[in-house]
Amino acid sequence: RQVLRKTSVEKRIVIISPFRNAERYLQTHCESIDQQDYDNYLHIMINDASDDGSADVLKKFENDQRIIIDNVVRKGCIANQLHVISKHCKRGDIVMLLDGDDFLVSNNSIFNYYNEVYHQGFRFTYGSCWSLADGIPLIAQDYPVEVKKERTYRDHLFNWKIPYTHLRTCAAEYFWDIPTSRFKDDDGNYITSGADNPLFYELIEKVEWQRIKAVKEIFCYYNDLNPLNDYKVNSEEQNINANRSYEKIPLIENNTTMNETKKILIAIPTNAGIEPDTFRSIYNMSVPEGYETHFEFFYGYQIDQIRNLIADWAKKFDYLFSIDSDIIVPKDALTKMLSYNKDAVSGVYIQRFHDKQTSELYYLKDGRHLNYQTNELPQNSVIEVDAFGLGCALIKSEVFKNIDYPHFVYSSALDHSQTLSEDVYFCMKAKENRFKLYADTSIICDHIGKHNFKVGSMMASEEKEALEVKKLTYDIEGDNLYSTSNDQKTLLLENCNDASLDILIPQHLIEFPKCIRIDSRKKELEILNGSTLVLEKCEEVVVRILNDQPDTDNILQHLVDMEFKLISKVENEFDKDYYFSRL
């Protein structure tokens, strides 16, 4: 047995452990994790709607390094894995996939081993394990170098087609832009069995061949004794889905090949510096395989002059990703924008007004460019616009190459409404040259100033912090919205159930609630679907659901997916109250 000493800074290891009806194995599983001589790890266990005593077993193993998610509706292994990775993992994390009925061998240096492997530059590992059913080692096989260089893994089959892959790890960022369609059936539902194979191929094809390692050391027990193992109870579905994974799939989509790396200039114009949160958001941003980024900031006081310099630089790259020095971009912004393959696409952020939700997206009316208000924009949509600000915008270099200099001109006027910004000037020239401009309303950016201006909220961050001392509760009763604070109940809005809370609260109210109570006569799921922003800021949710309500499980699962945990349930004669708290 190989024993390792700690020699490097501990990278965070995130162990993802989905399971269903595994109460017999959970204690051994958790103890094998807890034995590790390693501090920087997070263990996420997903109870996939078990109907045995699994939940009771796990209560003994709750601690600060373990998150337990209790699904109400069964989702399947791959859906659970991808969901928690997108919610909890960040760039630089080592993701370890260990099913809840499997467990590590008695060796407290396993996490240290993988930490050293990743410090050596590896980004994907697979194998080896001990078969409990056969009592034999299953040692991971290496691929030939030619196969690795050409990434023809699906063509090179071993005795069991795929190599022995337990225990499997991968750097978190390789999961972020995998098309979820790879793991769905013809009806668009996630497959519930046989996803190990397609996930293995999706990851190994993304990672540079020199960064892939077949681990020969046995670090886990493969529990093929479990009578609920997929190959025993879902063998037909497992074989169908596994066999599909051997079909050849283009490695990189959107006109990108493995031999042609696209280059992106990330450019920030500034006359002072860069906000730390802006830089942090760029550093944490996901960059898809097949692209490389080059970061530069451009200093000066005349904004159109700086942007013209950036445009000249951009001609040497494939894309310009323009980010203002006071904009915080989401982690998946670049990945989303590239996937659309548009001439130019922008995210959404608002101007720095306390009393307005004015976006930097424009439509043309009577010869004038007018700003969209955020409540005029469709949610989670890619829309064509007439102009946008360049605070968060991805533009193909062909746009700059086909527009005459100057690309940007700022024209001031005494009447500010007559001012023509350099951003709008550029967009006008782009459209004159038949380029189309788009915005993705799911890419929500913060705009930093003296206050932090957020889309969907008109309150500055300092004001919010002062108000959060109170525990404000919003009660949705029937079609009306009430607030409860300091035992005072006040009617806020009547007949509001036809509108989204994410729109109603920023428009009409001052504060986001710490708690929401919903008693809305079978409209609960509709309300929750329109309350993503509000729920993200909320700590507690109480939902009253009728006893015979058919969509009960979907309502409860929606809250689980929003990172809430069911704490208690109170049964009444005609309904039940479900109490949720944020994880």
The pLDDT, as a whole number, for residue 469 is 42
Q: What pLDDT, on a 0 to 100 scale, did the predictor assign at position 23?
A: 93
Question: Would you place residue 128 in the very low, low, confident or very high pLDDT band (cuts 50, 70, 90)?
Answer: very high
| Lowest model confidence (mean pLDDT) among 22-26, 327-331, 542-546 | 542-546
CATH of domain 262-453: 3.90.550.40
- 307, pLDDT greater than 60: yes
User: What mean pLDDT comes out for the span 301-310?
Assistant: 90
Closest CA to 322 of 397, 410, 253, 428: 397
Q: Region 137-143: what's the mean pLDDT?
A: 93
Average the pLDDT over each of 117-121, 227-231, 262-266, 537-541 and give the range with the smallest value: 227-231
Q: What is the pLDDT of residue 249?
A: 54
Q: Could you tell me the pLDDT band of residue 176, with boundaries at 50, 70 and 90? A: confident
Model confidence at 302, in pLDDT bands (50, 70, 90)? confident
Express the helix, strand and coil content of the chain in percent, nearest 5 each. 30, 30, 40
Q: Which residue has the higher pLDDT, 91 or 43?
A: 43
Rounded to whole angstroms, what are the CA distances from 7 to 13, 110, 111, 112, 217? 16, 14, 12, 9, 19
pLDDT at residue 510, rounded to an integer = 53
The three-state secondary structure class of 150 is helix
First to last CA, the chain: 38
Residues 443-474 pLDDT 10s: 999 988 655 667 764 334 444 444 444 467 87
- The fold for domain 13-244 equals Spore Coat Polysaccharide Biosynthesis Protein SpsA; Chain A (3.90.550)
pLDDT digits (tens, 9 = 90+) for 352-379: 776 678 899 999 998 889 999 988 898 8
Q: Between β-strands 103-104 and 220-222, what pairing exists: parallel, antiparallel or unpaired? A: antiparallel
Asked if residues 546 and 553 have their Cβ atoms less than 8 Å apart, the reply is no
Q: What is the pLDDT of residue 345?
A: 97
Q: Is the pLDDT of residue 129 over 80?
A: yes
pLDDT (0 to 100) of residue 40: 95
Sheet of strand 368-373: strand arrangement: 368-373, 358-365, 387-388
Residue 198 CA to residue 63 CA, distance in Å, equals 33
Mean pLDDT for 108-116 is 94
Percentage of the chain beyond pLDDT 90 is 46
Q: By mean pLDDT, which of 129-138, 253-262, 470-479 is the weakest?
A: 253-262
Integer Cα distance of 564 and 581 in angstroms? 5
Residue 334: predicted pLDDT: 94
pLDDT at 221: 95
Instruction: Note the pLDDT of residue 498.
Output: 58
What region, left, alpha or beta, does residue 456 occupy, with left being phi > 0 and alpha being psi -120 to 50 degrees? left
Beta carbons of 62 and 68 less than 8 angstroms apart: yes
pLDDT of residue 463: 43
* Residue, of 443 and 272, whose pLDDT is higher: 443
What is the token pair recorded at 119?
A: 């410090």
Amino acid residing at 295: F
Minimum mean pLDDT range among 292-296, 405-409, 479-483:
479-483
Strand order from edge to edge, sheet including 168-171: 66-71, 41-48, 13-19, 94-97, 168-171, 124-126, 212-214
* CA angle in degrees (0–180, nearest 5) for 267-273-275: 85
Binned at pLDDT 50, 70 and 90, residue 6 comes out as low
Q: What is the pLDDT of residue 456?
A: 64
> Per-domain residue ranges for the chain?
13-244, 262-453, 468-582
Q: Angle at Cα 566 formed by Cα 560 and Cα 569, nearest 5°?
A: 135
Selected from 3.40.720, 3.30.110, 2.40.50, 1.10.238, the CATH number assigned to the domain covering 468-582 reads: 3.30.110
Rounded distance between C-alpha atoms, residue 42 and residue 64, angstroms: 8
Average pLDDT, the chain: 85
pLDDT band at 521 (very low <50, low <70, confident <90, very high): low
Q: For residues 423 and 473, give the distance between their C-alpha atoms in angstroms, rounded to a whole number.
A: 42
How many residues in the chain?
583
Answer whether residue 127 shows pLDDT above 80: yes
Higher pLDDT, 548 or 506: 548
Three-class HEC string of 347-415: EECECCCCCCCEEEEEEEECCEEEEEEHHHCCCCCEEEECEECCCEEEEEHHHHHCCCCCCCCCECCCC
* Same fold yes or no, 13-244 and 262-453: yes
